[in-house]
Structure 1
């Protein structure tokens, strides 16, 4: 009797007891047999007494009673066997219900393996499942065996049997592997005393999804046809439960993957800087990102499912016409539009429309379109700002400016200002024709502006025959602005001398140049239609005074400028001729040239 049968007999004994705690059916049969034997003995004794008195019992009655008692033992054994089988079937039904209630593959496999060991009384066993991608059998769960043991030579037989069952979908039962002609030549049978082996396929709709293997190294004849049939019945139910659990886990993994992809797409969709609107063939909005909400001022709840023409009313008839062309010609349309938006004033949008291919959509509705909206308002403003800056600075310097860092509305800072005026130009101009006059003065003004640009200054303005420039503005921040301004002034003087070599003697004029360093307010000055970047404040007034004190071919600088450049230039202190009431204006400096380095 196997271990499971011994346990089942014990369980059956409990199962067979009456509810009032009486004897089991088997015990009652044994008692009946004992009583019948006693009755047969008594009948023989009574037969002798009756014969003495000339009487007899019916012929053979005692033998029939004894014979009947001998038939009770097989009946008890049959009853025990049936109760064992009933108990196993009930346990099988309970286990089947249990494994079918779980959707975890590992939980189902553990329950199946425990049930197999319990039903068969096997010493050890394992389950292998077929990899749905490679088709190979993979170890999943075991009892009494670990994964490392399966790779050793002593499991050649079990591996052979597993492959045979997986290939043929037929179970294998051997009650004594050592004498089974199919396996008796295997070295592991002899060396490792494998005796009883039972292996059945796990099949679902005719497909083998795995194999259940169990064995016993000690007991021969442990597995019979009964265990085989029982295990086959259980394996059929277990296979469905395992497959359901695997399908559930696969579906759950697919759902998780789909959810992750959806979340990723939502994140991408949300992070797109452009307003994105997708519409179907009926012009109904099917996608609408947060940027589109911000640009149009219409919420997602209001826009989703609405007609696109009701949402983008501000685009007018041009949008309708371009949308028609995109659908008819399967092309892309892009244009800029000036939008008058309530609460936001004038806005500038770049609009792009492109066909959106959707293979899953019906042909009648496969006219989906995606619309991209980009707000160019700030970009236009920056471009306009840079356009203004280009009027003041060389192109190379403008390219290095980040327009978002500019503050042309007004900023107070220390600057160095330069003022260059052509001396004697008024009397000179009276003798020339206008065309000639303009040609000559532009040559002199070019010399001055080129010198300012050379040292990365800002040409502020042209005033007749004069030029003003600025250093260390928000357009050209410089730590050595005073040094640059003086160098630009000297460059003007030197370049005018070079210009004289190309001009007749009666056209040779000279600059008087002044440089001052001080605090000034810098920004755009003028009307909305016409503005100039300029400096305001006392520093401008001091610059004008210095310029009035400069002579032909001279560079005059203020005391503030001198304090920053005296280490680089030889200068001569002078008393101002013109002060215009500025009592603190008592000294100025004439720049003689660069200092020689020792």
Structure 2
């Protein structure tokens, strides 16, 4: 019975290290792996092999002496092959290899665990480069070199006539794969010794091992009743030994296919709506038929709760018209329901399109017996999964609760009726810089700063007086936890024991310091923005104010050297009007003129510097840079003149602007005292502009040569001659603006 369950095992272990220790390691590895595999109770073959390798790795690692360098090594590479019926399981760690010869096909089943092989698989080296690389002998996996080992587990379905070769690296390093295949084709299962001789002939050493395993055709006679009972018992043990439903059912399905000779099989379970869902579907390798199964048969077995055996579905009038049967040309089908406590929970299904009568009544009886065991196992697994899920939910809830207490940003302090601290969470440790080990068991007055302890005691008094369940007190501010300024908000709630008696208090403290500081900074920022807006909004265009608020660093309030254009404008003919009209009328008309001038200046993104009686001074190009500020100033002057001409026609008052413009470098900024500031410009460029304005007659716009040179391609003017300015030795060339040329198309 044990041999039927665990199959046959072949093993090659190749020692690594000094000759004597390497030999000892290989012998110990071989003995340990076989022993561990054979005596393991793990039902899954791959898991059983992996556990055997891991146990052997730990055994070898315990005898390694890495401090002695290479002489202390005690390790081995290993490859093991297990065959159970028509399945080959391979466990591999190192540079040994497994090959499969199937007809004319010859392929390597394993991956080499060497540095160069991994680089080739990653695309960093070519096979030719790997063959001569200095690190070609460096292995990346070896039993005994580390405290843990990664083991490759490979599963392969065998066919009649297959030949499996296991060999150490000493073989394939001397003999090319094509030559290995040729020798195996010629000598079959006797090829192992021929391969070793060939490797030695080509210069190989004594450490060359090869094993061939031939897959012989099984006997045609049916299994005996004893064998069938033994198989059923083994399947039952596999089901009951593991609660991993998916892994167990996949293994069971493989065995059912191998036993019945079916090409395709499935385990289907009912869902909440009573529909069948395939949980495990398996098709044997190289079956050569499309996938799918007959739902018609599966649902009839489920509905009638009776097993169905069909010798040739294409000739059976009950099923011959079913689409899946026609499409796959199904012939033999066996399907049995899985029933537990009178409930059908699914079906077991096996089919074949190879020939009729593949399954007989004995196969069906075995499936019926197994279906009962499978149903019980599935129910147990589902119950286990439900319990496991509930356990996980409870564990998650418990972990979440612990995490909430640990991660609470609020400091939580619990005290008994004598003010002795009973709980002090991590947030309290961080807030006050006092570990819980020092706080718990001491009184509030001894642990906390006196002002904080007094504040908390006052909260307790208020809670007791007002009988509040939860009381929120006023914020506390002071020094705590090594910080000069800490702002805390606090809440206190009573603790009651099961007898509803008061058993202490819980304080919940929130550190509001950062929130308050941020709020204060925001208020200060808003105040600064408001002050800046108030400062500039009276003499800067709204668009410029917005730019200043968004980029306050662009303005140097202490004064900066800037390239600007200055505009001076004065109302001509206003004196005569003021002599003939009441002061209220004079002021109203003057304000309308100045409003007109201000509007046009701001429209061109200029800045009002100041009003000078019946005149105005403006700056273009400050406080923020303005592209073509000279042209913007000329446009503003022309618009002022045009608007005033229109106003003169409407009012009949014969007044006009005399305007002067000059461009150049000046000092621009806030001038004055902290109590009284004036944003203005200072420099020769200002003086020249003022002098030009003084010389301008009503309706004239005079500009300097410095300004004209910058806008000559856009502005037309006529030269008036030199103008002498106080404080300057050289006269200023003066021009009168006539018009602006049209914008280029």
Q: Could you tell me the TM-score, scaled by structure 2's length?
A: 0.45
Displacement of 1:415: 1.7
Aligned partner of 2:732 in structure 1 is 587
Give SS of 1:575's match: strand
2:716 is equivalent to residue 569 of structure 1: yes
Identify which of 458, 479, 494 aligns with 2:627.
479
Aligned counterparts of 2:288 and 2:676: Cα–Cα separation in 1: 87
Q: Quick check: 2:660–2:693 contact (8 Å CA) kept in 1?
A: yes
- Are 1:102 and 2:244 an aligned pair? yes
More strand, by proportion: 2
User: Residues 505-548 of structure 1: CA distance to partner in whole angstroms, max 9, x if unpaired?
Assistant: xx745543211111234445556666554334443333334334
In the TM superposition, residue 312 of structure 1 has moved relative to its aligned partner by 6.7
Aligned partners of 1:89, 1:130: CA distance in 2, in Å? 21
The alignment partner of 2:735 has SS state of: strand
Whole-angstrom CA distance in 2 between matches of 1:131 and 1:561:
92
User: Within the alignment, does 1:514 sit opposite 2:660 as a pair?
Assistant: yes
| Among 414, 429, 439, the residue aligned to 2:563 | 414
CA distance in 1 between partners of 2:519 and 2:296 (Å) = 82
C-alpha separation between the residues in 2 aligned to 1:513 and 1:569? 16
The Cα of 1:563 is off from its aligned counterpart by: 0.9
CA contact (8 A) 2:268 2:346 kept: yes
Residue number among 316, 325, 336 corresponding to 1:200 in the alignment: 336
Any gaps of 5 or more consecutive residues in structure 1? 12-79, 263-276, 285-297, 321-338, 349-374
Asked if the contact 2:568/2:616 (under 8 Å) is kept, the reply is yes
Residue number in structure 1 paired with 2:42: none
Deviations 1:389-409 (A, max 9, x none): 4322455x4697583135334
Q: 1:248 to 1:419 in 2, by over 3 A?
A: farther
Q: Structure 1 residues 310, 97: CA separation in 2 closer, same or farther (over 3 Å shift)?
A: farther
Asked if the contact 1:417/1:515 (under 8 Å) is kept, the reply is yes
SS in 2 for 1:392: coil
Among candidates 262, 266, 269, match of residue 127 of structure 1: 266
Match of 1:136 in 2: 275
* d(CA) in 2 for partners of 1:420, 1:340: 55
For 1:479, what is the secondary structure of its paired residue?
coil
Contact 2:703 2:737 in 1 (8 A): no
RMSD: 5.6
Query: Partner residue of 1:44?
Result: none
2: distance between equivalents of 1:178 and 1:569?
106
How big is the shift at 1:561?
0.5
Correspondence for 2:188:
none
Say whether residues 1:172 and 2:307 are aligned partners: yes
Task: Give TM-score scaled by structure 1 length.
Answer: 0.55
Give the structure, 1 or 2, with the largest relative contact order (CA under 8 Å, sep 6 or more): 1
Structure 2 CA distance for aligned equivalents of residues 525 and 401 of structure 1: 22
The verdict on how the C-alpha distance between 1:376 and 1:172 changes in structure 2, with shifts beyond 3 A counting, is: farther
| Structure 1 residues 226 and 520: alpha-carbon distance in aligned structure 2, compared to 1, 3 A threshold | same
> CA deviation digits over 1:329-379, x for unaligned, max 9?
xxxxxxxxxx9989959727xxxxxxxxxxxxxxxxxxxxxxxxxx56545
Q: Tell me the equivalent position of 1:534.
A: 680
Provide Cα deviations, 1:210-239, integer angstroms capped at 9, x if missing partner: 311235744564526852453134322442
What is the CA deviation profile of residues 230-255 of structure 1, one whole-angstrom value per residue up to 9, with x for unaligned ones?
A: 31343224424764798799999999
The structure with more helix, counted as a fraction of residues: 1
1:97-135 Cα deviation digits (max 9, x unpaired): 45x2436x3x343212023335x5343442243463664
Structure 2: gaps of 5 or more residues = 9-222, 401-407, 415-426, 433-455, 457-469, 478-488, 491-511
Mapped contact 2:571–2:657 kept (Cα < 8 A):
yes
Confirm or deny: 8 A CA contact 1:382 1:404 kept in the other structure: no
In the TM superposition, residue 587 of structure 1 has moved relative to its aligned partner by 1.9
Q: 1:532 to 1:82 in 2, by over 3 A?
A: same
Which residue, 373, 398, 405 being the options, matches 1:234? 373
In 1, are the aligned partners of 2:566 and 2:663 still within 8 Å (CA)? yes
C-alpha distance in 1 between matches for 2:615 and 2:391? 81
